Amino acid sequence: MGTSLPITDRGGDYGRDRGGRDLQSSASEELGSAAPAAPRKRHSAMVRVTHWISTLAFLALLLSGGEIVLSHPRFYWGETGNVNMRPWLNLHLPSSRDTVPTGYGFVLPDQNGWSRYLHFQAAWLVVGTGLLYLLFGLFAGHFRRNLLPAASDLSLKELGNSVVRHLRFERPAAEEAWSYNVLQRISYIVVIFVLFPLMIWTGLAMSFGFDAEFPMAVRLLGGQQTARSLHFLATIVLVLFLLVHVVMVILAGFRNRMRAMISGGAIPPTE
Amino acid sequence: MSKTSRRKFITTGLAAAAGASGIAVAARVARQHGLIPPDGGGFYGPGETLTYAAQRLLGRHAMAREFSRSEISQNPFANEVDPLGDEFKRLQAASFVDWRVTVDGMATRPGSFSLAELRSFPRSAHTTMIGCEEGWTYIAEWSGVPLSHILDRVGALPQVRYVVYRSIQPDWWESIDMADALHPQTLLALGMNGNELPVPFGGPVRMRVPRQLGYKSVKYVNRLTLTDNLKSFGKGKGGASPESGYAWYAGI
C-alpha cells in the first residue's frame, strides 16, 4: 500500500539529495540498522491529517468569505450598518450588488448562494477537525511536547535572539527539523488557541439563530457589525500567518518539510 | 503485514465502520425528528443539515434579540425590489382596502382576510434586527399579527409541517418550519416604528421571521399555504431562494 508515497524512494532520494554525507552514519545510529533506512518520523498521522483538512477548509473559507464580502465590501462597528450609514472601512472594491455605491460602473455577478453554502460546510469541517485535533493535542501530549515553549526560551533575551536569527534569515539550526523553535511555538499557539476560536466566535455571532440561543455571544463582542468587522480583521491576520508560514517552509527546505507533513518522515539533518 | 500495521488496519476499519453506521443512525433519527432541511441532500447537504439541526436542537424556542426603542436605526435600508406589478399598483391606488391574505392548504377553516380584518386581530410588536445575507443590518420596531394566531384561526391541522408564504410579486415565495411558524416573534407585519409598514419595507403585509435572514421576510404577502410536504411547491426546494441557489434555512 501507499506505493505512490515516497516510502520506497526515500533511501534513493536522500542519497541523491544530500550526497550521502553523514547521513548514512546518523541514520544508522538512530535506527540501528543498515541502509537504506527510512527517514525519521516527524509528524504524527493525526497532526498531518488534521493539518491538510484544515488547510483545505481554510482555503474554501477564504475563497467563499472573500466572495461574500464582495456583496457588501464595507465594515461597521456596533450592531447596525448599511449603505445609509458610514463605514469605518470601505474596501473600495467592485460589488456584486447594485445597491452598494462603489464608484465602479459595473456590478459583479451574484455568487453568494454557493459561497454561503460552501462557507458553512467548510466551517463545520474545520470545527470538527479542530475538535479532533484538540482532543489529540490534550490527551496525546502533542500540545505539551510540541507547542508549549520551554520556560527558558521565553526570556526576553532568548526571544530577542530568535527574532534576530529570523530577521537575518539564518539557516535554521539542525534540531529545528525535529522540533519547533520558540517563535514557531508562539505563533502556532496564537493561531490555534486565539485566532481560530475568534473566527468561530465572531462567525457564530453573526448568525441570527445562534444569537437568539446565546445572546451574550454577540453582546460581549459589542454588536453584530462589530462581530463582522472582527471576523474580517482576524481573516487578515490568518492570511498573513499563512503567507509567513509558507515562506518559512520554503526557506527551511520545502521538500523535507512537505515530506514531513505528508508522509510523516523527514530526512535527518546533516548539519 | 507487520503486527502494528495489522492492528492499525483493523482499528481504522472498525472506526470507519462505526463512523459510517453512526452517521446512518444519526440521519435516521434526524429525519424522524424533522431535522433535515429540504435542501439537506447534495454536496452541501451535510453542512446545511448540521446547521439546521444544531440550531433547532439548541434553541427551538429561543427568542430573537430585542432592542430598546433608542436603538432603532435612524437610517434603515429598504433594499431594492423588482418593479411593482400592475395588480400591486391597483391595490395601492385604493390604499390597499382590497388587499387580502388567503390562507389555504391543511386547515379546517381555510379563509381569506382583508387588511382591515388583519388589523383587528390581536397584535404583537418587537424591536428586532433585520439583516441581509450580504452583511448589512438595521433595527426597527415591527408590529403585526403573530402567524400562530392566523394558524389558530384557520384551524391548522396537526400534521402541518411547513407554512409556505407568497408575495403578490411573481416568483417570490419562501417557507418556514413550525418552529418558526409558531414562534411568538414571527409576525405578519403590518406596521414599522409606530406607523403603517411603508411600501419599500414590504407594506402593506410582510412576513417577519426575526431568527432568520432578511430573505425569509418576504414582502407584499398575500397567500399562505399550510402543508406537510414542500415537494409539490415549485421545484420542491421550499422557496424562491433555494431555487436560485441560496440555503432554505437562513438562521446563519
Q: Evaluate whether residue A192 is within a structural domain.
A: yes
Report pLDDT for A271: 44
Q: Do A98 and B129 touch (CB under 8 A)?
A: no
pLDDT tens, residue by residue, A184-237: 899 999 999 999 999 999 999 999 999 999 999 999 999 999 999 999 999 999
Q: Evaluate whether residue A140 is within a structural domain.
A: yes
Q: Evaluate whether residue A1 is within a structural domain.
A: no
- How does DSSP classify residue B123? -
Closest CA to B179 of B29, B38, B61: B61
Q: Evaluate whether residue A251 is within a structural domain.
A: yes
| C-beta atoms surrounding A45 within 10 Å | 13
Domain count, chain A: 1
pLDDT tens, residue by residue, B212-223: 999 999 999 999
Q: Which domain holds residue A253?
A: 41-266
Grid cell in block for residue A193: 488557541
Mean pLDDT, range B41-55, rounded to an integer: 95
**How many angstroms separate the CA of residue B109 from the nearest CA in chain A?**
32
Q: How far apart (Å, rounded) are the C-alpha atoms in residues B78 and B191?
A: 14
Closest Cβ–Cβ partner in A118, A218, A224 for B44: A118
ipTM value, please give it.
Answer: 0.92
B229 vs A: CB within 8 A: no
- How does DSSP classify residue A220? T
On chain A, the residues whose CB falls within 8 A of the CB of B135 are 68-69, 71-72, 228
Q: Evaluate whether residue A21 is within a structural domain.
A: no
pLDDT tens, residue by residue, B105-158: 999 999 999 999 999 999 999 999 999 999 999 999 999 999 999 999 999 999
Q: Do A212 and B64 touch (CB under 8 A)?
A: yes
Q: How far apart (Å, rounded) are the C-alpha atoms in residues A85 and A74?
A: 10
Q: Do B251 and A207 touch (CB under 8 A)?
A: yes
Grid cell in block for residue A11: 533511501
Q: Evaluate whether residue A7 is within a structural domain.
A: no
Closest CA to A190 of A237, A140, A134, A154: A237
Q: Do B137 and A82 touch (CB under 8 A)?
A: yes
Q: Evaluate whether residue A31 is within a structural domain.
A: no
Closest Cβ–Cβ partner in A83, A124, A225 for B50: A124
Query: Which letter, b or e, does each residue of A173-206 get, where b requires 16 or more Cβ atoms within 10 Å of its Cβ?
Result: eeeebeeebbbbbbbbeeebeebbebbebbbbbb
Q: Evaluate whether residue A148 is within a structural domain.
A: yes
Is the whole-model pTM more than 0.95?
Answer: no
On chain B, the residues whose CB falls within 8 A of the CB of A124 are 46-47, 50-51
On chain B, the residues whose CB falls within 8 A of the CB of A221 are none
Report pLDDT for B3: 64
Chain A, nearest residue to B49 by Cα: A121
Kindly report the CA angle at A115 between A114 and A117, in degrees rounded to 5? 60
CATH at A55: 1.20.950.20
